[in-house]
Structure 1
Amino acid sequence: MTVDEIIEAVLLEHIGPHEGFRVNNPREINGYLAIDQFAILPIAAVSSGVSQETDLEVIDSAGGSLGTLCFSRSLGNISIAELTIWQFVAFLSDAEPTEILDSHYSFKRDYLVLEIDMLDDYLNNYILSAPIWGKFSHFPVDNLEHVTTVDKIVAVPGIKIASPYHQQTLNRYLYANNPFERFLRIYHSIELLFDYVLVKKIKALDDNIFGFSQIYSDFGRTEIDRLRGIIREFCGNASSIASILENSSRFYYDREDIFFKYSKSANPFGDSEKWEKLTECLDGSSLNASTSKQKKLISKEDLFPTMVFDLAAYWIYRIRCSIAHNRVGEFVFEDRHRNFVAEFAEPLILEIAKQVFASPNFAAL
């Protein structure tokens, strides 16, 4: 309710004493409702990692009390008579005038109820950093979820779940709540293969010590080398991956920024001339063996699968770094890039994962 609505409700005796507390001085301070010695600040989001079974006192570093964090939404449909003083003043902020005469109430929001003397200090020193020290925020958090629609689901046979760790990682993918997290979960499932494949190959050598150095040479030592090696060895449908790569044309400017302007040494198309020819193929929906040879991206058509696999590996790794690393020299994703990740990056890495885990060569390890 607003200040005027609370005053009117008191005059009409719709709000009576609560555990000896009487509403005497409702007012607004710095845009927030204050009632007597309390200031009521709405909470927009609370971390899922915080237990909300009981309200929590908020104290400063010296041990002085700032107020009480009321997890009011978790109370459910509670009797108003059972509310604590802090929950009661939060109720007066949360409720509509037509709801205050009901015997029970379900809160719409959580609240931080401050001691009124602490309000200025809190607004100056604590409110913006609450996500760090308190795992909650007073400001709305944009929903990063981006739902995509499909007309059917295609079941893929022969997918090998390499270990219980892979099963756990794939299950975590389902619980990720935005495209950025989902991409990283699938990437982690592939990343877990780096050592898994290496160990399997070494075990298969038996006493052939000469093959050890060759495995290391083929497999690579850097993360991008190992990712590239996994994709080259276990992906078998370059055309399917190429079709997904062509979908990057929908995100022309993002693609240019992520994969060219912020190019790294491992970029197989970091040269401006090669990049221009590649994007002509992508935007013309003609990323195939014949066109790639015609544009001199490859010298022979049978090199097309390797070209596609290397391109996909580099793009996937760069996306992974842009999500996981916020540092100078990296392209940094913002919330506005969720469409790019959900509609292009996630389908790309899912296709790679499906091909890798369904590969007969992988199953034979």
Structure 2
Amino acid sequence: MPAVTELHAEFVRTPDAGSLSRLLKESWALVEEQQDKLASYFYARMFLSNPQLRDLFPVQMDVQRARLLGAIVTAVQSVDDPDRLDEYLTALGRDHRKFHVTPEQYDVVGAALMEALRTFAGDEWAPEYDQAWRDAYGAIAGIMIKGAENDADNPPYWHAEVLFHERRGRDIAVLTVRPLQPLEFRAGQYFSLECKHQPRLWRVYSAANAPRKDGSIDFHVRAVGAGWVSSALVRKVKPGEMLRLAAPMGSMVLDRRSTRDIVCVAGGTGLAPIKALIEELTRYNRTRWVHVFYGARDRDDLYDLPALNRLANSYPWLSVVPACSEDFEFQGEQGNLNEVVARYGPWQDHDFFVSGSPGMVRNTLRTLAEMQVPAMRIKYDAFGDL
């Protein structure tokens, strides 16, 4: 595989990456307010030009409609950070093997994207915008295809048997699954997951444990609103059923070279990857203090607090601070999680891991910036619009 800088150079026929980034962001601003309509048009053109692609997508397109387009836009707008972009796109290419996407189909996607952008930008679309998006998408597709090719020794997805299914309250379940084939991952990473109750509808969930000798993986799932997959995982899936897991993704992993103390901020089922990181730390950590802030609306949503407290009792370097934002009789901390974290600062010399809803992550990142925590020391995976 070419070096990142070589791949990155393929993005541009403009003088530098800064110019390309500017052109991409300027042109996206022309259509941003119409992105929902643009996404619908994008998929319509793609399916019209290649009807076979429709079979790769779920019947219900409400959520999916923005996913592929969103990934493309995220990538092109991250062009000025080639290292992170290369890592993201390589993982995305591996993940898309679950759809059995061929290199030729990337061309169809690119053509539909360009047509959608031109259509919704109208007369304001300029030739230099067209070239910038062509160059960017060409490099994006190239990195994703290479990522998929380099993963050819692995299956496109893993079949995994549900071993245990435990309800934790009204709308939360903890599932333990075991892949039928070896599946390597790192604590803090996440998987796309599909169940038989909602075929072709994949959703991402973080592993809630570090890798185990028996290969089993825990997932924490909350049934949310009209969430097709989350509701099925909480209310329908039973032990003995099979799930499908795509390749692991995510960079919210521990850096063993760091000697800084750690702060983990977990909201709701965002606890899953944090718990995985703690489990990994129990295997080797002796010198780093680890502070966990675990928040929810009310005490019933602190579904795994007893397990966290047991860990804290076993490992002197671990402390746990629970908080509720809407349960005023709760004996622990009160308020939004970012506010609670701020009360215990300063934190400028710590490594941070943040996991939870998009709103919770966004608020925490803003608070940490105000507290002058360097961005390079904050790790999180965004599953929504931050």
TM-score range, shorter chain: under 0.3
Bigger proportion of residues as strand:
2
**Which has the higher Rg, Structure 1 or Structure 2?**
1
TM-score computed with the length of structure 1 as normaliser = 0.24
TM-score, reference length from structure 2: 0.23
